[in-house]
């Protein structure tokens, strides 16, 4: 009898990955699909990083790596935290993982007990809630809307805290909304958390460098938060290295030690070649990746202009990442191409099947009124995609 565990049966499928797999499958069947579903840079990994990887192969890096990462990589991460984030992390406070997703899963697994509550300001990245489910914790959404630029207020935070609250996840720049918390906004939220010393903070900063004219601020750099914040980052988004799978954390040494133990039983250390390439990425001046960020900004402006012409879409202005998260609720209750649109999932499916454009529905991110469009694609592709979306929505 094929009997899977309750654990896997209760786990939702990752909607970002499912949508991109579906788009790939339809393309393979010969359909002219434009995929704006998954969030990954469409650039090549920069040459200097590729060279470092080739050098590592030539130098015969092929053995198991230390579970928590090569020492020289951890030193580079420590320098990066100091240089970019004003954060001091010693080597025993750093753990390298197979992607930021694994870093987040490690933290959830080592900190959460069944029944603990974890606060997720919504919209949030699809895997946060799924990881909470795996950890048998209860996730509590703190809803926001486009009117508050998808950011929570100190009062909302205070009202959401219960004696069971163990963690909160912050993510700025945010996937899927592109919103960025200012230093002032983070400091006000920190004031609330100061009154609740048992709550840990996970600050996912994977989109740190992809921001448009705003200063990135790390939550852990607030002095009172340092001892209970774990900063998560990686090279996937900023350096166009999604497939290399390198993420890392900086945080309290006792939490890093526990993540090391967890990883030691599940995956061991991250890939040797990718770790060596990551040293080159992190040691390079941030200006090396400006050309990608500048291009993303131009695409953001284009997407805002084109989507702005479509009736009923309400847009925010994303300050970072490469997603836009329009409110599409104007279309709920309407019939388009013979289909009744009841929610974001119906709308996303309509766009896939009638416009041949793959997006991700907002319900996967805890925000049913919206859909996520990734603009990590060329301007020509984006223009064509939005023209198709417009035609279908007009009908
Ligand atoms: N983080 C990216 C996204 O949201 C990659 C896919 C994933 O791991 O969810 O599309």
Q: Do residues 273 and 305 both lie within one domain?
A: no
Instruction: Summarize the confidence of residues 260-287 as an average pLDDT.
Output: 97
Q: How far is the CA of 23 from the centre of ligand 1 (A)?
A: 14
The domain that contains 299 carries what CATH number? 3.90.1150.10
CB of 65 closer than 6 angstroms to any ligand 1 atom: no
The domain that contains 98 carries what CATH number? 3.40.640.10
> Is residue 1 included in any domain, yes or no?
no
> Is residue 178 included in any domain, yes or no?
yes
Q: Do residues 24 and 159 both lie within one domain?
A: no
Torsion angle (degrees, nearest 10) of CA 280, 378, 175, 227: 20
pLDDT band at residue 192 under the 50/70/90 scheme: very high
Q: Do residues 37 and 59 both lie within one domain?
A: no
Q: Do residues 266 and 304 both lie within one domain?
A: no
Q: Do residues 215 and 232 both lie within one domain?
A: yes
Q: Do residues 175 and 59 both lie within one domain?
A: yes
Q: Whose CA is nearest to atom 3 of ligand 1?
A: 39
Test site for ligand 1: of 13, 39, 245, 247, most ligand atoms within 8 A of the Cβ: 39
Q: Per the structure, how many domains does the chain have?
A: 2
Where a domain ends, among 252, 285, 318?
285
Q: Do residues 250 and 224 both lie within one domain?
A: yes
Q: How far is the CA of 15 from the centre of ligand 1 (A)?
A: 9
> Cα separation of 254 and 262, whole Å?
13
Helix axes 47-58, 272-283, angle to 10 degrees: 140
Q: Do residues 115 and 129 both lie within one domain?
A: yes
pLDDT at 315: 96
At residue 359, φ and ψ (nearest 5 deg) are -125, -175
**Domain extent for 144:** 47-285
Residues 6+ apart with CB under 8 A from 353: none
- Report the chain's mean pLDDT, rounded to a whole number: 97
> Is residue 259 included in any domain, yes or no?
yes
pLDDT band at residue 395 under the 50/70/90 scheme: confident
Q: Do residues 252 and 219 both lie within one domain?
A: yes
Chain segment 35-87, per-residue pLDDT in tens: 999 999 999 999 999 999 999 999 999 999 999 999 999 999 999 999 999 99
> Is residue 72 included in any domain, yes or no?
yes
CB of 376 closer than 6 angstroms to any ligand 1 atom: no
Q: Do residues 375 and 303 both lie within one domain?
A: yes
pLDDT higher than 90, residue 331: yes
Where a domain ends, among 261, 285, 309?
285
> Is residue 188 included in any domain, yes or no?
yes
Q: Do residues 79 and 141 both lie within one domain?
A: yes
> Is residue 353 included in any domain, yes or no?
yes
> Is residue 293 included in any domain, yes or no?
yes
Distances in whole angstroms, Cα of residue 334 to Cα of each of 228, 328, 343: 47, 11, 10
Q: Do residues 227 and 298 both lie within one domain?
A: no
Where a domain ends, among 229, 254, 285?
285
Alpha helices in 11-86 (DSSP H): 15-28, 47-58, 71-85
CB of 16 closer than 6 angstroms to any ligand 1 atom: yes
Chain segment 224-273, per-residue pLDDT in tens: 999 999 999 999 999 999 999 999 999 999 999 999 999 999 999 999 99
């Amino acid at each position: 009898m094929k009997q899977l565990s309750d654990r896997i049966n209760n786990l939702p499928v990752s909607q970002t990955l499912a949508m991109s797999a579906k788009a790939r499958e339809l393309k393979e069947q010969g359909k002219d699909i434009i995929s704006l579903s998954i969030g990954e840079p469409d650039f090549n990994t920069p040459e200097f990083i590729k060279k470092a990887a080739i050098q590592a192969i030539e130098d015969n890096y092929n053995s198991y790596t230390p579970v928590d990462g090569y020492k020289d990589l951890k030193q580079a991460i420590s320098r990066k935290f100091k240089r970019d984030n004003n954060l001091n992390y010693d080597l025993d406070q750093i753990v390298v993982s197979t992607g930021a997703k694994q870093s987040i899963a490690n933290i959830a697994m080592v900190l959460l007990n069944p029944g603990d509550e974890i606060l997720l300001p919504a919209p949030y990245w699809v895997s946060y809630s799924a990881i909470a489910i795996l950890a048998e914790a209860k996730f509590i959404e703190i809803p926001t809307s486009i009117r508050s630029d998808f950011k929570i207020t100190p009062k909302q935070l205070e009202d959401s805290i219960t004696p069971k609250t163990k963690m909160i996840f912050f993510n700025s720049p945010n996937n899927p909304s592109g919103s960025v918390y200012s230093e002032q906004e983070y400091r006000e939220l920190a004031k609330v958390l100061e009154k609740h010393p048992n709550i840990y903070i996970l600050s996912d900063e994977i989109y740190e460098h992809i921001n448009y004219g705003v200063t990135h601020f790390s939550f852990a750099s607030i002095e009172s938060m340092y001892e209970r914040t774990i900063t998560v980052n990686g090279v996937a988004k900023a350096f166009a290295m999604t497939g290399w799978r390198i993420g890392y954390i900086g945080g309290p040494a006792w939490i890093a030690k526990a993540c090391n133990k967890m990883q030691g039983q599940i995956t061991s250390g991250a890939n040797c070649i990718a770790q060596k390439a990551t040293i080159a990425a992190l040691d390079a001046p941030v200006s090396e990746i400006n050309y990608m960020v500048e291009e993303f900004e131009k695409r953001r402006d284009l997407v805002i202009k084109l989507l702005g012409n479509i009736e009923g879409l309400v847009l925010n202005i994303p300050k970072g990442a490469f997603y836009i998260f329009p409110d599409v609720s104007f279309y709920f209750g309407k019939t388009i191409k013979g289909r009744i649109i009841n929610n974001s999932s119906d709308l996303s499916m309509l766009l896939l099947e009638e416009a041949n454009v793959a997006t991700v529905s907002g319900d996967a991110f805890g925000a049913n009124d919206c859909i996520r469009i990734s603009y990590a694609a060329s301007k020509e592709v984006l223009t064509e995609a939005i023209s198709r979306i417009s035609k279908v929505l007009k009908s």
